[in-house]
Structure 1
Amino acid sequence: MQTITIRKAYPNDLEKLLEFEQGIITAERPFDPTLKAEKTHYYDIEKMISASHIEVLVAEIDSELIGSGYARIESAKPYLNHLKYAYLGFMYTHPNHRGKGVNAKIIEALKNWCNLQDVFEIRLDVYNDNASAIKAYEKAGFKKHLINMRMIS
């Protein structure tokens, strides 16, 4: 079995990370009719890589990037019993490498980074109808918490 390495993302990874971003958007379009039909972006990846409150990680096999994810430290609402939390996003695994535990390894590394920042509450968003993603996140230890509802009128 090939060794999966998790490491911090660097600016020279940007081209591949932009491809990953488009892969995420393409995968999420069927779950969200409000996404623009033309090419769009979710993230400013270049800024994220250099930000001190964001950890962008990549997974690689034999120096080939195959996955990504980030943790972003946020201030919690004043009514919560924690001051900070981490928001996870940009979770992507190249289709040729799905089912190998890439996502789980990235989440574990991000969790470790969060704990080093004294952050122990970790959240993420996933589309309600994305059963495979929900299953993967539950397997990694996440539990459903809130349901975000919307109405188009």
Structure 2
Amino acid sequence: MRGVDVRVATLADLETLLRFEQGIIAAERRFDPTLRPDPIHYYALSELLASPRAVVLVAECQQRLVGSGYVRIQAAKDYHLHQQYGYLGFMYVEPGHRGQGINGLLLASCKQWAMAQGLTELRLEVYADNQPAIRAYEKAGFAGHMLEMRVAI
């Protein structure tokens, strides 16, 4: 996509990344009645930025951050064929920039980083009712694998 660059995030981006995190939480509240009231955080962003086992990426348009995502190297279960995989998270595109292919650019860059680390699989979690996100991930080649279920008691 012309005019959008994907790069590795730095600590200088932290303020914007924290705002993106709150955007994700606000969007996902309608899908998850188990979330505590604000303020909450999903991610330890400073730790992710410093970790050699993860990369936080940002999409930049006209010198302004408009999207984010990360890949973290995770240990696989002992019974899986692979020993580790890339776990995707923090996927966010600002509302005014959605539908322009930015999420696809971020996903492709996450995949490239994971492959460079020798990983052969990417995984992510998405709320079952979040159909726009599911469609975006399916467009990028992801398929449903395991459905986590819950019941309040």
Deviation at 1:2, TM superposition (A): 5.2
| Partner residue, 1:121 | 121
**Separation in 2, partners of 1:84, 1:57:** 20
CA contact (8 A) 1:2 1:61 kept: no
| Partner residue, 2:53 | 53
| Partner residue, 1:37 | 37
Task: Please state if 1:13 is matched with 2:13.
Answer: yes
- Pairwise CA RMSD: 0.9
**Separation in 2, partners of 1:22, 1:2:** 27
**Separation in 1, partners of 2:75, 2:30:** 31
Equivalences, count: 153
| Partner residue, 2:112 | 112
Give, as a single letter, the amino acid of the residue that structure 2 aligns with 1:109.
S
List alignment gaps of at least 5 residues for structure 1: none
Equivalences for 1:124-139 in 2 at 5 Å?
Answer: 124-139=124-139
% identical equivalent positions:
50
Q: Taking structure 1 as the reference length, what is the TM-score of the superposition?
A: 0.98
Runs of 4+ with deviation above 2 angstroms: none
List alignment gaps of at least 5 residues for structure 2: none
Deviation at 1:36, TM superposition (A): 1.2
Counterpart secondary structure, 2:57 = strand
**Separation in 2, partners of 1:86, 1:104:** 17
Q: Taking structure 2 as the reference length, what is the TM-score of the superposition?
A: 0.98
Q: Show CA shifts across 1:3-43 (max 9, x none).
A: 11000000000000000000000000000011112211001
Counterpart secondary structure, 1:74 = strand
**Separation in 1, partners of 2:38, 2:22:** 11
Equivalences for 1:86-105 in 2 at 5 Å?
Answer: 86-105=86-105
